[in-house]
Structure 1
Amino acid sequence: MATVTECGNPSNTFSIEPLEMWEFTPIVSLDAEPIDYDDVKETSLVYKKDEKVTLSDKISKSIRDKYTLMVFTTESKKLSLKFTVKNGTTDQFYDDDGYIKPEIALAKGEKELTEKESIKITDDKSFLVDYTKKKSTLIEFDVEINTETEKTFFINFYANDNKKYFDIEGKYKNVFCGQVKVIKKKSSICKDKDWSFFPSLVSDSKKVTYGSSLSWTNTPECYHYALQQLKDLGYWVKTERWNKKWDGTKELNDDIFQLYLSSDVAGMKKGIQKEMFENSLIYLKQAMESKTPVMVGLHYREGYANEDLTTDHFAVITGCGRDIDGKLYFEVTDNFYSSGKYYCICENYEIIKGNYIISQVRKSRKL
C-alpha cells in the first residue's frame, strides 16, 4: 500500500491501494434457469438480496457490493448449469483470460455425506475462459446430486491466471469470484424413472367378484374377496390384523401403511400421512419389481367402521405403469366396483381415482 505525504506538512498523510496490473479477476454468475434432466419441474430460482456473499477483495468493491446470491431449490438428481464469466475489476489494465474452477461445498451445519451419497460436478475440471473479444463468456457443466435427505450446498468459483505466450501470469491465486446456493429437496420415490411397469396380473375372467362363494368363510365381505384374489395369485397378507394390540388400545400393525385417515386414531392425526405415503411407495416399488400383488384399503365415504375409522372397501394392486403424460399409476383389481387406474399424486401425497383414495397398503407374503 502506497503512502502520500503533503509537502511541508509531514503529519498529513494518506494511503492508497496499489494498482495491480494484468491480473485475472473475473466474476461468475448464473446465466439462466437450471435445466432439469429428471423433468420433475420442481426447480425454482430466486435471487437473495438479503444474503451476503463475501467475494474476494481482489474484485473491485463497486462490483462485488452489487453481487447477489443466487439460490435455487430442486428435487432433481441431475442438473445442467450455465454461467456467465465477465471482468470483475474497474482497473484499466486487466487480464481477460484464465481458469475458472467450480467446487462443491456443503453449507455450514450440514451433516457430512454418507458413503452412499454424493454431490459432484460431472466434468470436474478447471475451465479455460477468454473474454478478450467479447465482454463475457460462458461455462457449462452438469451437477449430479445423490442424497438420501435434504441437503444445502454451494457451488463456489475460483479464478487463476494462465500463462500463454507473452502473457505474464498474474500473482493472484484462487480468487473467490462467484457462488450459487443449491437446496436439494428430498424427492418422492414416485418420480423415480426406474419403476417396473406391467399390465394387470388379473384378466376379467380371473377376477374374484363380490357375491361369489368362498370355501373358507361363510360371511364373505370385500376384505375376504380381496384376500381370495391374492390367494389366487399365490400370495396372502403378512398380517390380517390392523391393530397390533390385544388390550383394547390401538396401534397400527408394522406390516400396514396408513396413507389417509378421516379421523384421529391410534395416535395418528386426521388427514394425509406423508411419511407413511413415502414408505409405502418404497415397498410398492419393490413389490412391482417382483410382480407381487398388494392388498389396499379404499376410502370414498364418511362414517364406515373399520378399525382405522376410514377404510370403506378393499381391493388389490395387480399392475403398474405410466400414462402418456408420465404420471405413475397402479392397476387396482376391485371385487365390487369397476377396476381401474389409481394415480399417484406426488405433490399431494395420495393415490387416487376420482373420489376414491387408497387409505391403506398391506404388505404381502408368498404362499
Structure 2
Amino acid sequence: MSARFDPADHLSDELLARIRSRAAAVDAENVFPQADLDELREAGYLRILVSVERGGAGLSLAQASELQQRLAHAAPATALAVNMHLVWTGVAKVLRDRGIDDLAFVEEQAADGAVFAFGISEAGNDLVLFGSDTAAAPGPDGSYAFTGTKIFTSLAPVWTWLGLHGLDTTSPDGPKLVFAFVDRDERVVTRDDWDTLGMRGTQSRTTELHGVVAPAERVVRTMPAGPSADPLAFAIFAVFEVLLASVYTGIARRALELAIESAHRRRSKRTGLPYSQDPDIRWRVAEMALAYDALPPQLTAIASDVDGRVDHGARWFSLLSGLKHRATTTARTIVDEAMLVGGGSSYFSRSELSRLYRDVLAGAFHPSDPESAHSTVASAWLGPMEA
C-alpha cells in the first residue's frame, strides 16, 4: 500500500453528495447513471487500480474495497456497475503483482478512459468461471469468434471492451476455456431488457454474441474446462468477491445510519420520548451495529492478503466465497432491521430504505451464490464429497 491513503482524494464528499442526489431518480426512471460515470471518470476513479507507471493511482485492492464501500454508501447501483470495470483492472493488478503482465492492455486502455464490462455470467451455468455455453471458435491466426448469450452484463450501455469467456470444443486435447476481450460491433447485440426489482442503475442487460471476434492479441488465456489453479481464475474470483462484498458492506452501513436517524427523529406517543430511548429499538440497532462492525475488518484482512500474496492454498476459494456470502447476507439482515426501525414510512417507494431493501436482494444472485458458498466451505473443512 502507499504510505498515505485518504479516501477523499479519490471520492470527495462533494462528488458523493452529487451522486447520492441522483440515485433515487436513476432507480425510479430505470436508467444508467451516466452523469455518475462521467464524474467518476473525470475524477480518475476508473484508474484507481491501474499502476502509477501506466497512468493510474496504483491503489491496493484493500484501498479499492474501502472506496467501493464509500461509493455504495451513496449509490449502490452506481457502485455495483463500476465494480465490473474495477474487476478487470483489479485482475490486471493481481496478476502483475505476481509477475504476470498478461493484462497490460487492460491497464493501458483504462488509463485512456476505456470502460470494461464483465461478460462471464450465463443463464443456467452454475460452473461460472469453469465452464461456458458460449462457443469459442478458433481462427487460423490465433483469434477466436464467440457465439452465445451473456446475462447480467453491467455497464451494458457504455462499455468499450467486454471481457468474456467461451468454450473451444475443437481442441484435440479436450475442451478448453478461452478468456478474451472483444469490442463493440454489429455482431454484439445488447438487449434493452433490464427491468428489475433493484440495482436498476447497473443496466446489466443481456448481451448476444454473434460470432464477435477477439483478435489473437486480445486472447489472454486458454485453459482446460473445469476447476483450475490458473492465476487468472484466482485473480478474477478474488477481485470479484472482495469488491462485491464491499458494495454490500456499504449498503449495510447506510442502512444502519438511516435507522439511527429514524430512531432519533421518531417519537413515541406512549412515552413522549424519541425511539432512540426505547429499549427494544436500542437492542435492534445494537444488533445491526454488532453485525456491521464485523464486515469492514474482514474485507481489509482478506483484501490485504490478496495484495500481500499470502498463500492460503486450497483455502482461498472458501475464504473468498465466505466473505462474499457473509457480506451479502449480513447486509440483507441489517436492511431488514432498519426497515423495522424506520417504521411504516420506510415501506413507501420514495424512502431511501425502500430502495436499499430492493437493492440488497441482488446480493444472493451474484457468484458465489449461497449453495455454492456452503458447498465450497464444507469441502474446505470436511473434505470432498465421497463418490
Relative contact order (alpha carbons < 8 A, sep ≥ 6): 1 or 2 greater? 2
Higher strand share: 1
Higher helix share: 2
TM-score range, shorter chain: under 0.3
Give the TM-score normalised by structure 1: 0.26
- Rg bigger for which structure? 1
Give the TM-score normalised by structure 2: 0.25
